[in-house]
Amino acid sequence: MVNKSKFYYGEHESQFGVLRMPGNSKSCPVIVLIHGGFWQARYNLEENNPIADDLTHKGYATWNIEYRRVGEEGGGWTGTFNDVINAVNHLLKLNESYPIDLSRVVVIGHSAGGHLALWLASRIKSITNDSPFNQLSVSIQKVISLAGVTDLVKMWNIHEHKKIKSHTAALLEGSPEEVPERYKLSSPAELLPMNVEQVLIHGELDHHVPVNLSKEYYKCAVEKGGNIKIVILPDIDHFKIIEPASSAWNSVINSI
pLDDT tens digit sequence for 162-210 = 777 789 999 999 999 999 999 999 999 999 999 899 999 999 999 999 9
Instruction: Write down the domain spans for the chain.
Output: 2-255
Residue 199 has a pLDDT of 98
Q: Which of 27, 31, 52, 135 is nearest to 89 (CA)?
A: 135
76 Cβ contact list (under 8 Å, min separation 6): 39, 68, 69, 70, 170, 171, 172, 173
pTM for this predicted structure: 0.97
Count of helices and strands (H, E) across the chain: 9, 8
Let me know if 181 is exposed, middle or buried by CB neighbors in 10 A (0-12, 13-18, 19+): exposed
Does domain 2-255 fall into CATH 3.40.50.1820?
Answer: yes
Q: Residues in the chain with pLDDT < 50? A: none
Residue 104 has a pLDDT of 96
Residue 42 has a pLDDT of 96
Residue 23 has a pLDDT of 86
